[in-house]
Structure 1
């Protein structure tokens, strides 16, 4: 069960990082575009695997969104990514 908790914590941090990328004026437009595409894929009714298939439908949304976010992070300069990750870590540490 602790693995699920770690996974949810990681997922929350990735979402906060995505939000930070969208709000930061230093982030390249391409990184912001890919981040928005990840969000749109999750809320889009068009999927690779239908959401009517209980686990697989949600799993494909999560995996594709995660891969798109990892692609978006590659478009960020390393120092900006490190700065945003530190900000997210500080925010999640203060919330505990």
Structure 2
């Protein structure tokens, strides 16, 4: 249970950084398409056909890809979070 809580905290932090980076005018060109593809993958209709496989798949691949997208961001976008996210 502690690992799930840790994973949730990492995903939540990555989502905040990604949300902040998407709103910046100096974001990389690839960021919007990569985020859109990740969102489409997470909402894939295949999850309806095989619910258990879809949950396991989304629980592993989506957080990993989210973390990879955040790690590929320029340093100034990763570190310049709004004050509310730092607290």
| TM-score (norm: length of structure 1) | 0.66
- Between Structure 1 and Structure 2, how many residues are aligned? 86
Instruction: Kindly provide the CA deviation profile for residues 48-89 of structure 1, in whole angstroms up to 9, marking residues without a partner as x.
Output: xx5422xx42121132222332332344222222224xx3xx
Q: Which runs of 5 or more residues in structure 2 are unaligned?
A: none
Q: Which runs of 5 or more residues in structure 1 are unaligned?
A: none
Q: What is the CA–CA distance in structure 1 between the aligned matches of 2:46 and 2:38, rounded to whole Å? A: 13
Q: Is the 8 A contact 1:34 1:68 kept in 2?
A: no
Q: Is the 8 A contact 1:38 1:64 kept in 2?
A: no
1:44 correspondence with 2:37: no
- Runs of 4+ in structure 1 deviating by more than 3 angstroms, as ranges, are none
Q: Offset of 1:8 from its aligned partner? A: 1.7
| TM-score (norm: length of structure 2) | 0.71
Q: What is the CA–CA distance in structure 2 between the aligned matches of 1:24 and 1:51, rounded to whole Å? A: 37
Q: Is the 8 A contact 2:15 2:66 kept in 1?
A: no
- SS of corresponding position for 1:73: helix
Q: What is the CA–CA distance in structure 1 between the aligned matches of 2:85 and 2:80, rounded to whole Å? A: 14
